[in-house]
Amino acid sequence: MKPFAVWGLFFAVVLALVLPLGSTSVAQQQGENQQQRAQTQPYNNAPVWREVRSGKEEYTSVQGRETGVLVQTYGETWRQLRNAWITPVGGWLIALIAAAIGVFHWRKGAVKLHSGPTGRLIERFTALERYAHWVMGISFAVLGVTGLIMFVGKYVLLPVIGYALFAWLTQLSKHLHNFVGPLFALSLLVFIVIYIKDNLPRTYDFKWFLSAGGMFGGTHVPSGRFNAGEKVWFWIGVVVLSIVVSASGLVLNFPNFDQVRAVMIEANVVHSISACAVMALALGHIYMGTIGVAGAYESMRYGYVDEAWAKEHHEYWYNDVKSGKVKAATAAGQPGAPQAQH
């Protein structure tokens, strides 16, 4: 046998004998350290949990994305952010907006017509437009109520109604929220397609902004089919925020698409913040569309408004209808026709 072959065999035998001894000594050292820790610091499993919380991908017999990660520390960051910032800030924002609207209505009251109704009615919304609005509006209301129950219910409702009723209510809210969410997302797209044409900005919208729609000065400010305030709600509340809420909600609603936990956490943060913002804005829209402006609710319920109402609140649109530029059905005191309120 040649000399280099002999030396190679010698080193291979030595390594085969030494390496197991080294690894055994390391294992023995770790075992001794564990025993010593158990005696000096009983129940202290910090090294074990430090390894668990490291976020490293370990081995698991179940194959999939993140299946080897036992604990994701990003979840603790999300919990602290949600409990310390998102929930209290979002909850107080909605509460303060609701209180401000209540004070405003108490001081100012509803906006009413300065002149009496003429009895001649103009179709303001077609059946399709009203149907699209109500489907989206009702689904939005269901999502808003159930979302608030899950969002701040344990702080507001739990101390009042107790654990048993609150558990049942939150479970019901969760199911309603999950099933109504996709309906809202679909109706939102239909709503945008139907109403986008009449919500495009016009030059006269700036005048409406400068005078705040005449709400405080009492001056008459003409507008198109929708005033500048309604257009702001459409573009910010409906187009931007509602689409963000819908997209992030769908990510949360369908985890079976194999999103990683970090994506779910980020989607939850985006969903919570945008939902609080759109609900706060929606309170103003709901107020103006119900008790804030006399006749506004009837126009969306029945589709017709009195000519006096149309001229006083949306004069440019009224002029387009009367000139024939915009087609709209009319009615004049017909039996069964809805009547605009004074």
Identify the residue with better confidence: 267 or 42: 267
Confidence band for 88, pLDDT divided at 50, 70 and 90: very high
What was the pLDDT predicted at 158?
95
From the list 228, 220, 221, 222, the residue with the least C-alpha distance to 202 is 228
Give 96-146 pLDDT, tens digit per residue.
999 999 999 998 888 888 888 888 999 999 999 999 999 999 999 999 999
pLDDT at 296 over 70: yes
Spell out the residues 6+ positions from residue 186 whose beta carbon is closer than 8 angstroms to its own.
none
What was the pLDDT predicted at 340?
46
pLDDT at 316 over 80: yes
pLDDT at 54 over 80: no
From the list 274, 337, 335, 280, the residue with the least C-alpha distance to 306 is 337
What is the C-alpha to C-alpha distance for residues 99 and 188, in angstroms, rounded to an integer?
28
Confidence band for 186, pLDDT divided at 50, 70 and 90: very high
Please tell me the least confidently modeled range out of 4-8, 63-67, 232-236: 4-8
Distance of CA 276 to the CA centre of its chain: 6
What was the pLDDT predicted at 335?
39
pLDDT at 11 over 60: no
Spell out the residues 6+ positions from residue 110 whose beta carbon is closer than 8 angstroms to its own.
291, 292, 293, 294
End-to-end CA distance of the chain: 116
What was the pLDDT predicted at 209?
81
User: What are residue 305's DSSP bridge partners?
Assistant: 122
What was the pLDDT predicted at 50?
72
pTM of structure: 0.81
Report the residue count for the chain.
342
Element (H, E) at 202: none
User: What are residue 122's DSSP bridge partners?
Assistant: 305, 330
What are 143's two structure tokens?
Answer: 């999502």
Confidence band for 336, pLDDT divided at 50, 70 and 90: very low
Spell out the residues 6+ positions from residue 116 whose beta carbon is closer than 8 angstroms to its own.
308, 342
> pLDDT above 90 covers what percent of the chain?
58
What was the pLDDT predicted at 142?
98
What is the C-alpha to C-alpha distance for residues 95 and 276, in angstroms, rounded to an integer?
11
Contact of 121 with 305, CB cutoff 8 Å: yes
Distance of CA 128 to the CA centre of its chain: 26
Q: What is the DSSP string of 279-341?
A: HHHHHHHHHIIIIIBTTHHHHHHHSEEEHHHHHHH-HHHHHHHHHTSS---EEES-TT-----
What is the C-alpha to C-alpha distance for residues 224 and 291, in angstroms, rounded to an integer?
21
Give 56-78 pLDDT, tens digit per residue.
777 777 777 777 777 778 888 89
Q: What is the DSSP string of 9-44?
A: HHHHHHHHHHHHHHHHHHHHHHHHHHHHHHHHSTT-
Confidence band for 14, pLDDT divided at 50, 70 and 90: low
What was the pLDDT predicted at 113?
84
Confidence band for 221, pLDDT divided at 50, 70 and 90: confident
Average pLDDT of the residues of the chain: 85
What was the pLDDT predicted at 214?
66
What was the pLDDT predicted at 102?
95
| Fold topology of 74-332 | Fumarate Reductase Cytochrome B subunit (1.20.950)
